[in-house]
Amino acid sequence: MSTADKNLSVFSIDDLPNISNKKFALVVAEWNSEITEKLYEGAYQTLIAYGASPDLLVRGNVPGSFELSVAAHWFAQRADIDAVIALGVVIQGETKHNDYINHAVAQGITNASIANNKPIIFGVLTPNTMEQAVDRAGGVHGNKGDEAAMTAIKMVGLKDKVLA
């Protein structure tokens, strides 16, 4: 199958943890909200499909992806939150703005994740075009929100195993 047709959201579902008592925070950027809402919907539905309790899913909105890091950090600081999923879409423009945002968010999320000792998932699309974003938010390449949720589930399970 060529990359152009491939649903990239393929993951193994062997040996997933019980997440019925796990609390997840989903942080969603409002920029490009027509896409980020689809990422959110995918992430939310995947968490539910794999056993999360709806009342243990919390959501926070931020204006743009640049704000994802600090908001994710705030949620991760809370003792009751097990993992955070950060969702955004930064589309390449005429300037290098996207590069600065993308690098800042990737680094910020990494730092916040390590500082709080909790999974914070980088669910940020960095496409060149809106079409590429659409393809990855419930389009031909699947939904990266689903993938972000599955990554959160797996990391929560791995953490429990490693630190048990």
Sign of CA dihedral 151, 14, 8, 59: negative
The region, left, alpha or beta by phi > 0 then psi within -120 to 50, assigned to residue 106 is alpha
Q: Which parts of the chain are beta strand (E)?
A: 24-29, 57-62, 83-89, 120-125, 137-139, 142-143
Q: Is 87 in the site for ligand RBF (CB under 6 A)?
A: no
Residue 31 assigned ligand-binding role? yes
Asked whether residue 91 is marked as a ligand-binding residue, the answer is: yes
Q: Does residue 39 bind ligand RBF (CB under 6 A)?
A: no
Q: How far is the CB of 45 from ligand RBF (least distance, A)?
A: 22
Which of 51, 64, 139, 157 is the binder for ligand RBF (CB under 6 A)? 64
**Residue least distant from ligand RBF (Cβ):** 64
Residue 60 neighbours by CB under 8 Å, 6+ apart: 25, 26, 27, 28, 71, 74, 75
User: Does 30 carry a binding-site annotation?
Assistant: no
Active site includes 97? yes
Interaction residues for ligand RBF, span 98-137 (CB under 6 A): 101
- Paired tokens of 148: 């972000």
Phi, psi of 128 (to 5 degrees): -80, -30
Q: Which of 66, 69, 138, 149 is the binder for ligand RBF (CB under 6 A)? A: 66
CA dihedral 150, 137, 71, 97 (to 10 degrees): 130
* CB-nearer residue toward ligand RBF: 25 or 28: 28
| Nearer Cβ to ligand RBF (15/94) | 94
63 makes contact with ligand RBF (CB under 6 A): yes
Binding site for ligand RBF (CB under 6 A): 29, 31-32, 63-67, 88-91, 93, 97, 101
